[in-house]
């Protein structure tokens, strides 16, 4: 038993890892990718290498802390997300048109459930209990399964769950994890459509922003479909718990088991009223079936019998609806216009296409709008070199061609550029103009983690301190390329040969 409990505990840890941490990590990694692509991978790497070791450790710890806090918040919000995806929405005026359109779609399928085995398991019995999402209807149909025994699923399930056997709990946890993972992936995909799309509008070209919006929407749709598919086995296990294990709860309460369907319905009805209302019906207390004293007969006496309907199908068990909707008449069971078999695709027609078309059109327009609002970098790509340019060459108008080539004049290259190659601002140094005239590039081995391009620096060597140097590029955290006046090159070289150099930064 101890090994089984340890296995269940380990699986529950994996359940949280699968349904929360992995989707959240992917979401944060996608946001970081958009930000790095906007800044430029080379510049982002240079900035990261330019941070001190202690700073990088603090940044990593901060990211881990943010991830942990966000994961805990999502774990707490996970039941609410499933509730929302199931269609239990607040009665807001802005949501009423969408709710009405989606309900019209699912009501068409609900009316055909009596003649379609697939729809019979995925839609509730009455039209008034139908929800505006397919996931919610699958779960509600499973909740109604307990009605056939006279028990209310929402009241009994939290108590029944505590006495379910361990093998069943493992299987149920696996099914719940699959459904919750789909919901979480869908939610984070929708969140990336908004957050990632907004970030992409600010830092990426138009095409990149559109891809972020459309990609996030696609992930949201696929995640929801995965949740609906996983809800099938989850709902079947709920039905199995009511069918097979419901008497475990009565035994755990030390009550007598019922001996007929009528006694069972009466017992569950009074237990539900005891839990929900605080007291059973005064004239039906005996229906709770408390254990008889040892000296009395175990056979029920006439005083123990409870008036119940002759036909269990006509009994009136409590039927509180989780969505707060009143119960409607039972679905037609005989042949008739509402019981004719209808294919699922035809049953889901109704107003489904307009709703889906409107949502698809809205997402498409959002991507197009993001593409139009994003920074137009196509002009940067149209700036090309007219000749082969060496590294650390100050750009002149004659070196460039393009409508906006003048904006790059005065900046310098950090690597050789071939003729006809495109030039981007992120791949160039700052505009120094004539400050580089009469200077030569020299690579020195120093700690350059806090140096940026174009910064004035000094080098302290055993032969003296050399100032007036300009940092051109930081190829690595322990290497720096500086612009040295040609008159100081020989003296600085002798100083570097005499021993290690130390970088001196100006006081800011």
φ/ψ of residue 128, rounded to 5: -70, -15
**pLDDT (0 to 100) of residue 181:** 93
Phi, psi dihedrals of residue 285, rounded to the nearest 5°: -60, -35
Question: Which has the higher per-residue pLDDT, 342 or 244?
Answer: 244
- 3-class SS of residue 341: coil
Residue 494 sits at φ, ψ, to 5 deg, of -65, -35
Query: CB-based contacts of 187: which residues, under 8 Å, 6+ apart?
Result: 81, 85, 220, 223
* Structure confidence at residue 335 (pLDDT): 34
pLDDT of residue 178: 92
Contact 433, 420 (CB under 8 A): no
pLDDT tens readout for residues 160-196: 999 999 999 999 999 999 999 999 999 999 999 999 8
CA angle 433, 203, 51 (to 5 degrees): 65
pLDDT in tens, 305-350: 444 443 433 333 333 333 333 333 333 333 333 333 334 444 454 4
Q: Which residue has the higher pLDDT, 51 or 376?
A: 51
Q: What is the pLDDT of residues 76-90, one digit of tens each?
A: 999 999 999 999 988
Residue (of 31, 26, 22) closest to 196 by Cα position: 31
Beta bridge partners of 443: 481
Instruction: Say yes or no to pLDDT of 9 above 50.
Output: no
User: DSSP 3-state assignment of 472?
Assistant: strand
Cα separation, 48 vs 30, whole angstroms: 18
Residue-level pLDDT at 333: 35
- Tell me the C-alpha distance between 235 and 184, whole Å: 18
Between the alpha carbon of residue 28 and those of residues 32, 34, 201, the distances in Å are 6, 10, 17
Better-scored residue on pLDDT, 329 or 220 = 220
Q: Please tell me which residue, 333 or 490, carries the higher pLDDT value.
A: 490
- Whole-number mean pLDDT of the chain? 78
| pLDDT of residue 495 exceeding 80 | yes
Region 231-244: what's the mean pLDDT? Answer: 93
Q: Is 151 helix (H, G, I), strand (E, B) or coil?
A: coil
- Which of 444, 438, 478, 437 lies closest to 458 in space, CA to CA? 444
Joined together, the tokens standing for residue 229 give: 């598919």
Does residue 468 register a pLDDT over 90? no
Percent pLDDT > 90 in the chain is 22
Partner residues linked to 390 by β-bridges = none
Residue 292, pLDDT score = 77
pLDDT tens column, 246-281:
999 999 999 999 999 999 899 888 888 888 878 888
Bridge partners (DSSP) listed for residue 461? 464
Q: Looking at residue 295, what is its pLDDT?
A: 57
Contact between 450 and 505 (Cβ < 8 Å): yes
At 233, the pLDDT band (50, 70, 90 cuts) reads: very high
Q: Read off φ and ψ for residue 102, nearest 5 degrees.
A: -70, -35
Match 């038993």 to its residue by tokens.
Answer: 1
What pLDDT is stored for residue 371 in this prediction?
56
Q: Which two tokens stand for residue 283?
A: 């004239």
pTM assigned to the model: 0.62
Distances in Å between the Cα of 47 and the Cα atoms of 44, 55, 295, 304, 457 are 5, 12, 85, 82, 18
* Mean pLDDT lowest among 10-24, 109-123, 346-360: 346-360
| pLDDT digit string, tens, across residues 420-446 | 888 877 778 888 877 888 888 888 888
pLDDT tens digits, 117-166: 778 888 888 888 899 999 999 999 999 888 889 888 888 999 999 999 99
- Report how far residue 359's alpha carbon sits from residue 502's, in angstroms, rounded to the nearest whole number: 61
> Quick check: 51 pLDDT over 90?
no
Tokens of 332: 């037609």
Averaged pLDDT for residues 21-49:
83
Please answer whether residues 370 and 210 qualify as being in contact, where contact means their C-beta atoms are separated by less than 8 angstroms. Answer: yes
Least confident residue range of 53-57, 102-106, 280-284, 363-367: 363-367
> Where are the chain's structural domains?
2-255+348-370, 384-436, 438-504
Scan for tokens 């922003």, then name that residue: 209
The pLDDT score that the predictor gives to residue 304 is: 43
Contact call for residues 331 and 133 (beta carbons, < 8 A): no
The torsion angles phi and psi of 504, rounded to 5 degrees, stand at -120, 120
């Amino acid at each position: 038993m101890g090994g089984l409990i340890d296995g269940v505990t380990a699986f529950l840890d994996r359940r949280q890892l699968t349904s929360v941490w992995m989707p959240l990590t992917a979401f944060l990694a996608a946001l970081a990718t958009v930000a790095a692509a906007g800044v430029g991978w080379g510049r982002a790497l240079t900035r990261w290498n330019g941070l001190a070791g202690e700073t990088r450790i603090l940044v990593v710890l901060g990211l881990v802390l943010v991830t942990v806090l966000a994961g805990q918040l999502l774990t707490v919000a996970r039941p609410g997300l499933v509730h929302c995806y199931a269609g239990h929405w607040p009665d807001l005026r802005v949501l009423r048109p969408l709710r009405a359109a989606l309900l019209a779609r699912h009501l068409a399928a609900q009316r055909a459930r009596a003649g379609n085995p697939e729809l019979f398991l995925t839609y509730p019995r009455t039209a008034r209990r139908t929800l505006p999402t397919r996931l919610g209807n699958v779960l509600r149909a499973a909740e109604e399964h307990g009605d056939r025994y006279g028990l209310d699923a929402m009241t009994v399930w939290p108590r029944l769950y505590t006495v379910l056997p361990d093998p069943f709990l493992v299987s149920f946890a696996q099914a719940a994890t699959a459904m919750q993972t789909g919901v979480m992936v869908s939610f984070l995909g929708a969140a990336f459509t908004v957050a990632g799309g907004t970030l992409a509008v600010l830092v990426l070209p138009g095409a990149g922003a559109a891809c972020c919006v459309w990609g996030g929407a696609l992930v949201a749709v696929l995640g929801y479909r995965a949740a609906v598919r996983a809800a099938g086995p989850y709902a079947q296990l709920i039905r199995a718990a009511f069918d097979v294990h419901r008497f475990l709860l009565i035994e755990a309460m030390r009550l007598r088991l019922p001996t007929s369907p009528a006694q069972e319905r009466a017992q569950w009805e009074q237990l539900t009223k005891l839990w929900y209302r605080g007291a059973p019906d005064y004239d039906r207390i005996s229906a709770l079936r408390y254990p008889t004293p040892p000296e009395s007969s175990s056979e029920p006496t006439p005083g123990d019998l409870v008036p119940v309907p002759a036909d269990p199908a006509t009994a009136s068990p409590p039927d509180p609806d989780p969505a707060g909707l009143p119960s409607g008449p039972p679905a037609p069971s005989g042949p008739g216009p509402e019981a004719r078999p209808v294919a699922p695709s035809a049953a889901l027609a109704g107003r489904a296409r307009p709703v889906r078309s409107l949502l698809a059109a809205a997402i498409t327009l959002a991507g197009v709008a993001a593409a139009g609002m994003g920074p137009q970098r196509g002009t940067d790509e149209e700036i090309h070199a007219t000749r082969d340019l060496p590294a650390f060459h100050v750009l002149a108008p004659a070196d460039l061609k393009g409508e906006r080539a003048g904006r790059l004049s005065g900046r310098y290259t950090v690597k050789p550029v071939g003729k006809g190659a495109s030039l981007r601002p992120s791949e160039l140094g700052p505009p120094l103009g004539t400050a580089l005239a009469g200077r030569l590039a020299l690579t020195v081995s120093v700690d350059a983690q806090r140096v940026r391009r174009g910064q004035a620096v000094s080098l302290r060597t055993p032969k003296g301190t050399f100032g007036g140097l300009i940092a051109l590029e930081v190829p690595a955290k322990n290497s720096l390329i500086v612009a040295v006046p040609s008159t100081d090159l020989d003296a600085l070289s002798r100083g570097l040969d005499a021993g290690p150099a130390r970088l001196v930064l100006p006081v800011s």
